[in-house]
Structure 1
Amino acid sequence: MSHEQPLEVYSYLSPTEHGGTYDHLRRSVDGVAGLDRVLIGYHSFGPDGLLLGTASLAHDPDLNVLIAHRPGVVQPTVAARMVATMSSLSGGRNDLHIVTGGAPGDQYREGDFLGHDDRYRRAGEYVDVLRACWDAAEPFSHDGEFYKVEDVRPNEMQLAKPTRIHMGGASPAALEFGASKADVYMLWGEPLDEVRGRIEQIEKTADKYGRPRPRISLSLRLYIGATDEEAWDVAYQDPAYQKWLAKGAEVSDRKHNEDAGRNRQLEVARRGERHDDCLWMGIVAALNGLGNAAALVGAEDRVMETLRRYRELGVDTFLVSGELGHWRPSLTPTVHRMKREL
């Protein structure tokens, strides 16, 4: 199955990775040049992504950001104004990544005790209210399961262009939310057959709602060398992997009740470290399935061929990170080649 959509390549941006000043932020932003969009993450004890995103956009007129945002923290009408203000000021260079949460403790820190499936239902209503605010030409009211608002006025700061809703998740509740509401459905890296099955499932569920399936994003680390051997040498030296080896190299068999995607990652890792041509689950095992850890390892031609095979399955976007888990400018030539050839 192919899906002819223009390819986009994302990575991560941690604006405060070098420190907390604006000078530090500029240094971080300068390091991600050449990407279509960068994701600014979310957790309860980190700096605010909407503020960091606005400052980053002000520094670089070519930057596009994807802001991770958690429903249940602020009212959707408030979030809609924030996002619209950012869009108006930046010329529409911001999208939104809706994260419902896979770690209960981080939800509890912000006073959110709603259960897993309920959070996805709430997220669906949250997105409906966001879009109603953004599209409003006259006052409206909303009375739903989780939110009630009255006489919401059209925002003075309008979206410069549509803000796309991104999301991720592997549970049945996530599938229903993503297929019915998302513009971009984000997947962790998995073997080709598993990715094919996920895309078919998303497409079938979206069809049930009478809409085309969302764009598909696939998250992967890239370990690229002049030769396959060189790339594997770099991959095997990853500190997290070396620490895991020192502890005995056992793949966790724990089931995470709130994170179906993490369970899928660990299941693949338990089947073996290497899959298909060059997919490596070693960091997945080392990090107990947490985060973007599935990797492609090899010379650039080998990695490019595997990316092409994912693209033929219907992947529209790659969220890539570099040798140490973050974007590295050394990957810029690879990204240019991806945009040119895939």
Structure 2
Amino acid sequence: MTGRPTDLTVFGTCPASTPEGGRDYLDRVAQVASWSDAAGHDGILIYTDNRSVDPWLVAQVVIQATARLAPLVAVQSAYMHPFTAAKLVNDLAYLHGRRVDLNIVAGGFVGDLVAMGEALPHDARYDRAVEYATIMTALFTSREAVTFDGAYYSVTGLRLTPALPAELVPRLLVSGSSPAGLAAARALSATAMVYPQQPEQQPPADPALTQGMRIGVIARPTAVEAWEVALGRFPEDRAGRVTHRLAMSRSDSRWHQQLSQAVEKQGTYWMAPFKSYKTFCPYFVGDYATVGEEIGRYVDAGYTTFILDTPAEEQDLKHTAVVLDMARSRLGGRS
């Protein structure tokens, strides 16, 4: 890093697909993407797993529904060759003149990976992901044909046509919750993303890296209003807790295990939606000033990229913007 960032980078999250309601899901993706675009977000995360709609198809919908929002596509090397993924980025840029960012993931549900014959252990999957993203980055940035010979991939004289404009080269994000993930982020000069512990327990960000975190926010003018919304949106769900425990038993994700052991509620920090399998990140619930102060403590610790959970309604993003502006002020102003 060349210095402390002067602004926050903010991504939203695309709704997860469900087995039914394809047309309704298409409309919901476009709606949430347009909200995020209007809120001034930099991009929007799109999930990938064995049950989700293909993220590249969803990225096309996001681009068509927005003016500037960048799809942040989750890319798992088990699903496709790095040239295929790079060409999809390149082709979307060619067709729409828009950047597509990449969230490089190495994990997933164990059952999904086994079903595809994925046998690599956790840390080795990150080693492979580094090779994967290294080839993609070379294809995006080199004006010469790319040759690479690694432990997992080998390519000779590979190139993208037409060449990707420099301003549309993707930003890379990598999960940095495990030592292997953090090492991958360093190797790729990528943004390392974590799932936060309570502010007083969160280690400072590595000053040599750009780091960020994934959070949910429910903030209102008063704490009473915020908790009324939160408890109405995420009521107690015993069946969901059973599903969560089952999912944890089938995952080798370090961040999954870390969050599962976190205290359920402390101040604004709230884990009930995660532990009821309703979402995949901690929530911060309370009045604007308190939540803004809590998120500001992470900014003070060096975390300057945030992926926000999927909003239920557009008004959520307007409330969240208030607390993000409070946290942003810790950086000394907006760019």
TM-score scaled by length of structure 1: 0.82
1:316 to 304, 308, 313: 304
| Cα pair distance change 1:24/1:171, threshold 3 Å | closer
Q: Which residue of 1 aligns with 2:274?
A: 284
C-alpha separation between the residues in 1 aligned to 2:139 and 2:114? 28
- 1:44 is displaced (CA, Å) by 1.3
- Tell me if the contact between 1:92 and 1:162 (Cα under 8 Å) persists in the aligned partners: no
Pair 1:312–1:69, CA change in 2 (3 A): same
1:259 paired to 2:248: no
Structure 1 residues 116-195: aligned runs within 5 Å:
116-159=122-165, 160-195=167-202
Mapping for residues 1-342 of structure 1, pairs under 5 Å? 3-14=4-15, 19-20=22-23, 25-32=29-36, 33-34=38-39, 35-159=41-165, 160-197=167-204, 199-200=205-206, 203=207, 212-213=208-209, 215-239=210-234, 241-244=235-238, 258-269=252-263, 273-275=264-266, 277-287=267-277, 291-321=279-309, 326-338=311-323, 340-341=325-326, 342=328
Cα distance in 1 for residues equivalent to 2:316 and 2:293: 16
Amino acid across the alignment from 2:275: A
Quickly say closer, same or farther: Cα 1:319–1:246, change in 2 above 3 A: closer
Amino acid at match of 1:63: L
What amino acid maps onto 2:218 in structure 1?
A: Y
Aligned residues: percent identity? 22
Tell me the C-alpha RMSD between the 2 structures: 3.0
Residues 1:30 and 1:15: Cα distance change in structure 2 (over 3 Å): farther
* TM superposition shift of 1:283: 2.4
SS of the equivalent of 1:192 reads: coil
Count of residue correspondences: 318
Counterpart residue identity of residue 295, structure 1: Y
2:241–2:275: 8 Å Cα contact kept in structure 1?
A: no
Residues of 2 paired with 1:246 and 1:103: CA distance?
Answer: 17
Residue 77 of structure 1 deviates from its aligned partner by 1.5
**How many Å separate the matches in 1 of 2:91 and 2:114?**
29
Q: TM-score scaled by structure 2?
A: 0.83
Distance change in 2, residues 1:153/1:37 (3 Å): closer
Residue 265 of structure 1 deviates from its aligned partner by 0.8
Deviation string, structure 1 residues 218-263 (Cα, Å, up to 9, x no partner): 2111122342123223333444x51139979x989x7776111111
**Structure 1 CA distance, aligned partners of 2:319 and 2:9?**
13
Q: CA deviation at 1:11?
A: 1.4
Supply the distance in 2 between the matched residues of 1:247 and 1:112 (Cα, whole angstroms): 28
Structure 1 residues 160-218: Cα deviation after superposition (integer angstroms, max 9, x where no partner): 42211111142222121122214211111311133234x24xx4xxxxxxxx31x2222
Give me the whole-angstrom Cα distance separating, in 2, the residues matched to 1:10 and 1:130. Answer: 22
